[in-house]
Amino acid sequence: MRRSGELARPSFAPASPAGTAAPRSDWSTLARLFPYLWQYKWRAIAALLFMVGAKMANVGVPLLLKRLVDAMSFKPGEVQAVLVVPLALLIAYGLLRLSTSLFTELRELVFAKATEGAARTISLEVFRHLHALSLRFHLERQTGGMSRDIERGSRGVHSLISYSLYSIIPTLIEVTMVLTLLAVKFDIWFAWITAIALVFYIGFTVTVTEWRTQFRKEMNELDSRANSRAIDSLLNYETVKYFNNEEFEARRYDENLRRYRVAALKSQRTLSLLNAGQQTIIAIGLVVMLWRATEGVVAGHLTLGDLVMINAFMIQLYIPLGFLGVLYREIKQSLTDLERMFHLMEREREIADVPGAQPIRIEGTPEVRFEDVSFSYEAARPILHHISFVIPAGKTVAVVGPSGAGKSTLSRLLYRFYDVQQGRITIAGQDIKQVTQASVRHAIGIVPQDTVLFNDTIEYNIAYGNPGASRAVVEAAARAAHIHNFINATPAGYDTMVGERGLKLSGGEKQRVAIARTLLKNPPVLIFDEATSALDSANERAIQAELQSVAQNKTTLVIAHRLSTVVDAHEILVMEAGRIVERGSHAELLAANGRYAQMWALQQSSE
């Protein structure tokens, strides 16, 4: 019997990241899943009762079939009885068949809420946990692979329940009933022959399936590798076109497909071996059973109905067992998928709130302090060295310096994407490590240098700064960011889709959407990280004036390369190699004729 899905061509799905945790046992994965299902314990009990009912009806069908066949053996003159008895048995036979289907559907209907509920709860828990993990995790992750882990894990819940509750357990119940009936109603050898055939069948299936798992794994790895390279090529479509490398990418993808084909054929050969072995064992078991039953009929201690019943029992048993290899493999795969998703759920948070942390308390405009802050992403490469400065309440402090000086790290620490290794950062006199992360981030608004938008409408992206804001409020923020006229000029207006990562908009348009989004949030602390770097000079001057107006009475940190954008800051910090080398106002720094003055002269001459 050929199994479907074995030779499916690889889809364009990115590879999952390799798990670093030690693999857990199948039983521990099931134990981890159990609490989610136990919330629906009454539904589970009802489903089990319906399952037992379905199997009792199913086992009753061959018994009734025997009665029906035996009832057809009559003597002359018993025509009236023959007309009544078989008709009643036929009706009963039909009702049993209907009962089997009815109980099965009721079982699935009752337990569907438990299956869907558990899958939903687990998926939501993973999603929330991933948002709670640190920026470091998300910089190192493979987004496509991680989403596939969640998708497969959620699907694994459905598959595991479907295959175990709807296939394995019912088959075990039916096997137990049939063996009991054969042992009680007939010669004990009927039960022994059936049991021995089942033991050989199950042992052979499990052994061969375990052996061929290596070939399935190889096929899946090659599938993931081919897909990840294909996705990488498609994501970098423009780069491929720039260098005219379409054929190069096609050859590279085809090489992966060729290797996948070899592995898939090897997997199919082992599958054919498994199927042939299963059918051989089934055939031998059926022949031995029917031979013994035929002997009994000839000897006279068994009826023709008994022979029909035994044959029906064997067919009913071996049809579901014919899928045992697929079921076993799918259950193992579902457990593996669940394990990967549970591993994501158990990934420790690098940045976590301290026990009993309270929301930050801010009244009015807060002061922000960096006190002797040292930080490194990796121990061998320090980024910040003993940084100390104050952003007074309602004032603006700018940080300038060459790339790699550690400027953007300041904003990441202030947002608490990372925790400092030495020193502390305070807002309104409160150490941000001692209060909740959510409240800190609620108090800060940022216009980042690299703006990434959601694949949704312009209105949705602006309103993201304050979900639920009215169209009028969104439009007001867009006007302040000098993007309202552009939006109105598009055919769909504020309903214009921006595309994946906002790629349908230019860099300047994306940055103005980001500015509008932050203006809509209206937090007491602002961070402008190269907020106008993607704008032309005219728009930069207009928006710079708007940003200065917005920053009035707000505590503002400005990170900039172009010094012309920070000349009005109350204090300017000049950073190099993670240290503050100069500080003062624009005029004071020019008068000092130091590093800032050199940078100013260089930029003025280039302009």
The region of weakest confidence among 8-12, 40-44, 264-268, 444-448 is 8-12
What share of the chain has pLDDT > 90, as a percent?
Answer: 3
Cross-strand bridge partners of residue 447: 528
pLDDT bucket at 399, cuts 50 / 70 / 90: very high
3-state secondary structure (DSSP) of residue 556: strand
Name 448's Cβ contacts closer than 8 Å, sequence gap at least 6.
514, 529, 530
Q: Is the pLDDT of residue 216 over 70?
A: yes
Q: Do 19 and 343 form a contact (C-beta atoms < 8 A)?
A: yes
Q: Is the pLDDT of residue 241 over 70?
A: yes
Q: pTM of the predicted model, to two decimals?
A: 0.60
Sign of CA dihedral 33, 38, 40, 46: positive
pLDDT at 165: 66
**In the numeric block, which tokens belong to residue 57?**
């009806």
Looking at every residue in the chain, the average pLDDT score rounds to: 77
Q: Is the pLDDT of residue 438 over 70?
A: yes
Q: Within 13 Å of residue 37, how many CA atoms lie on the same side as its CB? A: 17
In order of their start, the domains of the chain are 26-345 (1.20.1560.10), 365-443+524-607 (3.40.50.300), 452-522 (3.40.50.300)
Residue tagged 């629906």 (tokens) = 40
Residue 83: Cβ within 10 Å count: 9
Q: Is the pLDDT of residue 454 over 60?
A: yes
E runs forming strands in 355-421: 368-378, 381-391, 396-400
| Residue 484 identity (one-letter amino acid) | H
Q: Do 315 and 309 form a contact (C-beta atoms < 8 A)?
A: no
pLDDT per position as a tens digit, 30-60 = 777 777 777 777 877 787 788 778 777 777 7
Residue 351: Cβ within 10 Å count: 16
Q: Taking residues 313-329, what's their average pLDDT?
A: 70
Q: Is the pLDDT of residue 2 over 50?
A: no
pLDDT per position as a tens digit, 348-374 = 666 777 888 898 898 878 899 999 999
Q: Taking residues 50-76, what's their average pLDDT?
A: 71
pLDDT at 390: 92
Length of the chain: 607
pLDDT per position as a tens digit, 151-209 = 666 777 777 777 776 677 777 777 777 777 777 777 777 778 878 888 888 888 888 87
How many Å apart are CA 193 and CA 164, to the nearest integer? Answer: 26
Q: Is the pLDDT of residue 15 over 70?
A: no
pLDDT at 270: 85
Beta-sheet strand order (sheet of 368-378): 381-391, 368-378, 422-427, 430-431
> Alpha carbon of 326 to those of 171, 196, 278, 337, 382: distances in Å?
14, 21, 12, 16, 53
> Alpha carbon of 156 to those of 39, 119, 146, 376, 411: distances in Å?
18, 9, 15, 40, 40
- Angle, helices 304-321 vs 169-185, to 10°: value is 160
pLDDT bucket at 535, cuts 50 / 70 / 90: low
**In the numeric block, which tokens belong to residue 341?**
């998703």
Beta-sheet strand order (sheet of 396-400): 444-447, 525-529, 555-560, 396-400, 571-576, 579-584
Q: Taking residues 407-423, what's their average pLDDT?
A: 87
